[in-house]
Amino acid sequence: MRHWLVKTEPDAFSLDDLRRESPALWDGVRNYQARNFLREMQLGDVVLIQHSSCKVPAVVGLAVVSELALPDPTASDPEHKGFDPRQVADIDADKPPRWVAPRLSYLRPLRTTLPIARLKARPELADSHLVRRARLSVMPLSESEAACIASMAGDTLLP
């Protein structure tokens, strides 16, 4: 079982929104590295939800992968902001879909929410994607990184 971290803007879709709408399609990702990570997600993997672009950016809660990544329907919808005609071309050509979305099911809030500033201060996380890769919205956590976050949050990070 792997651990992942995903970012979401709470004004658009918060942890509470996920709780109300669980399970939810995690759509709208339009970055190739993030897309590759979405493809790697396995059923039962635990996903840390991080609020971004808000007053206190922080890891706030947990979800679990409840359906493997499927073609992101918002990418084939011309009415949608995330529309990408190449998605339609890929599907028509029987190629793997360019953009995908897994389904995530709400788990719980973290016992202690963890502001990004606190995470960035930890030497154990200095080499993590979170610290090293600006703007990446989907990333894996190593076991040791997950263990560090678990201990900071007073949470097992288990489903």
Partner DNA sequence: GCCAACGTTGGC
The two three-digit tokens of residue 144, written as one number: 């040791």
Phi, psi of 92 (to 5 degrees): -60, -35
Q: Which stretch binds DNA (CB under 7 A): 16-24, 30-38, 71-79, 101-109?
A: 30-38
Q: How far apart are CA 7 and CA 77, in angstroms?
A: 23
- Indicate the residue among 23 and 82 with the shorter CB distance to DNA: 82
Residue 87 contacts DNA per CB under 7 A = no
Quickly list H helices, the chain.
15-21, 32-40, 85-92, 116-120, 129-132, 143-153
52-60, 69-77, 90-98, 99-107 -> range binding DNA (CB under 7 A): 52-60
Pick one of 3, 4, 5, 7: the residue that binds DNA (CB under 7 A): 7
Query: Contact between 52 and DNA (CB under 7 A)?
Result: yes
Check binding of 50 to DNA (CB under 7 A).
yes
Cβ at position 98, least distance to DNA in Å: 10
The residue among 115 and 159 lying less far from DNA, judged by its C-beta, is 115
Name the one residue in this structure whose structure tokens are 């890891």: 59
Contact flag: residue 32 with DNA (CB under 7 A): yes
Dihedral angle, C-alpha 95, 100, 105, 107, nearest 10 °? 130
Give the whole-angstrom CA distance, residue 76 versus residue 80.
8
**Contact between 117 and DNA per CB under 7 A:** yes
39, 95, 108, 120: residue in contact with DNA (rule CB under 7 A) = 120
Token reading at 16: 């509470």
36, with CB counted inside 10 A (0-12, 13-18, 19+), is exposed
Give the residue with the Cβ less far from DNA, 120 or 158: 120
Contacts to DNA by CB under 7 A: 7, 9, 30-33, 50, 52-54, 57, 116-117, 120, 133-137
